[in-house]
Chains A and B, each alone.
Chain A
């Protein structure tokens, strides 16, 4: 077995027992990259030399003091919207040019301190705006299960890299489903933590009231281990929560007895693919058989979530992206005066979807429309959050599909932005409410494409959704499936 196909917990055990070195593991990951990435295009930037140096240091440390650092020697891929000191960061946009960050994001510092080996920076939809990774200004990433299909987005590169064993685990960001939907499409596990659980310092901002960092992994235990490594308060992010970080891996009991699960009826309506519905309902039956109590619940404002999200997220984005003015960093066009320089730099630097969202957000915030769009959306957002608050009075976790379909074809939705937005229908309410949710594999469709199930939890109760997901994973084999990329 190729060591790069190992899970984080198995690889970590082998490293600590000296059955495998970090250098062997890192070389195996780069071997996979060279074999598969000309088809997948998961990575924008590779850092082989730096990674091998980090691996060498990890091996010395393992030999010297038998260190138990949680990520020591583990090759991890990072979405290219995390600032990485000295390592080019593009956000898959032309406007950043060859931006070399002068500092590390807090999460990058944490995984470095935990001993991780960074393999490279993965592709995304430009500024994390998209659901297919097709909006990358560089190139689209392809789904390892079917090269004609999208890997999902925006963390499509990270999901594809994990699915094709080009790394052991990866980091992504999730503003409206950008970790969970590509995880579902690529058959891996992905978690969006509670808003405030993980620091956003050094993450290139998209929509600041919803952006959150999280892991993409090969199984649920890896997901818990990664979250332990990255979660926690950061004085540099005033929205990060000053709460202790539980040992998430200790919540993985394999038992669901007594857990109360809610199944929202609004998530099983027109638009869902039959095979997706069947797989998720089958998973729910299995959890019930294993001792969970299942009841149908209602999240009545679900149908308004897409409209709310694409007002709030674009409004925040239009403000966040005002900083790209071509003055202090990034692309600067030649204009005859200051105004023209701004306008041409942004015209040349931003892609179509980013422009569309800046326009929509600027419109929603502009004089005369603020109350009708932005304020209205924030009022409905309060109702969406109340839906979750009420549901969590009755249940411990909520189960839904992650996406209404499996991976769609490259080019299928790119010309129709509204159709693309509607494909986020099951994931965006979670960001609007700020609650945590993860996606894990729960089956395959007739085309052999992975199906994802979403488990939603209470604020700061990642432990329960990890426990539930782990118990389901233990009872099934879906997570062991691997894409066949050789032919």
Chain B
């Protein structure tokens, strides 16, 4: 089944990516080729294989719930595209 431009547009919206018409066209073609290659996994019967979860046998890594880093609003805001005193300024979220 060939990947369609509509599907690519839908996935781009899910990924919060605006694509130009040219990007959309190129990605439809490239992703289709890559997904076709990935179909080779269907050669394998994996119905009795448990999916991989972690490379080593690990148990939960618990630690004390205590603060180890001091809050430093100034340093954290230093990279903000827009700010107001000690707050990030962002576009309006609720209409």
A183 to chain B, nearest CB (A): 22
Q: Is A459 an interface residue when CB atoms closer than 8 A count as contact?
A: yes
Q: Is A304 an interface residue when CB atoms closer than 8 A count as contact?
A: yes
Q: Is A27 an interface residue when CB atoms closer than 8 A count as contact?
A: no
1/0 contact trace for A311-355 toward B, CB 8 Å?
100000010001001111111100101111111101100101001
A418 near B37 (CB under 8 angstroms)?
A: yes
B62 to chain A, nearest CB (A): 9
Chain A residues with CB under 8 Å of B33's CB are 418
B93 near A383 (CB under 8 angstroms)?
A: no
Q: State whether A459 and B91 are in contact (beta carbons under 8 Å apart), knowing that A329-B79, A330-B81, A373-B38 are contacts in the complex.
A: no
A231 to chain B, nearest CB (A): 14
A332 near B82 (CB under 8 angstroms)?
A: yes
Question: Which of B30, B55, B69 has the most chain A CB within a 10 Å cutoff?
Answer: B55
Chain A residues with CB under 8 Å of B52's CB are 378-379, 381-382, 385, 432
Chain A residues with CB under 8 Å of B80's CB are 328-329
Q: Which of A195, A344, A355, A377 lies in contact with B55, CB distance below 8 A? A: A195
Chain B residues with CB under 8 Å of A378's CB are 51-53
Q: Which of A327, A355, A366 lies in contact with B17, CB distance below 8 A? A: A355
Chain A residues with CB under 8 Å of B58's CB are 196, 239, 241
Q: Which of B31, B38, B49 lies in contact with A359, CB distance below 8 A? A: B31
B17 near A310 (CB under 8 angstroms)?
A: no
A347 near B41 (CB under 8 angstroms)?
A: no
* Complex Cα spacing A462 to B27, Å: 40
* Complex Cα spacing A417 to B90, Å: 36
Chain B residues with CB under 8 Å of A478's CB are none
Q: Is B6 an interface residue when CB atoms closer than 8 A count as contact?
A: no
Q: Is B54 an interface residue when CB atoms closer than 8 A count as contact?
A: yes
Q: How large is the interface on A (under 10, 10 to 19, 20 to 34, 35 or more residues)?
A: 35 or more
User: Chain B: interface secondary structure?
Assistant: loop
A325 near B27 (CB under 8 angstroms)?
A: no
B17 near A382 (CB under 8 angstroms)?
A: no
A355 near B56 (CB under 8 angstroms)?
A: no
Q: Is B86 an interface residue when CB atoms closer than 8 A count as contact?
A: no
Q: Is A444 an interface residue when CB atoms closer than 8 A count as contact?
A: no
* Complex Cα spacing A417 to B78, Å: 37
* Complex Cα spacing A433 to B41, Å: 17
Q: Which of B31, B56, B82 lies in contact with A356, CB distance below 8 A? A: B31
Complex: chain B residue closest to A195, CB-CB: B55
B81 near A331 (CB under 8 angstroms)?
A: yes
Question: Which of B13, B31, B40, B56 has the most chain A CB within a 10 Å cutoff?
Answer: B56
* Complex Cα spacing A330 to B14, Å: 21
Chain A residues with CB under 8 Å of B65's CB are none
Question: Which of A241, A335, A352, A360 has the most chain B CB within a 10 Å cutoff?
Answer: A360
Q: Which of A307, A337, A358 lies in contact with B40, CB distance below 8 A? A: A307
Q: Could you write out 11 A-B pairs with CB less than 8 Å apart?
A: A100-B79, A209-B55, A241-B58, A306-B37, A337-B91, A340-B18, A342-B16, A356-B31, A359-B8, A359-B12, A359-B17
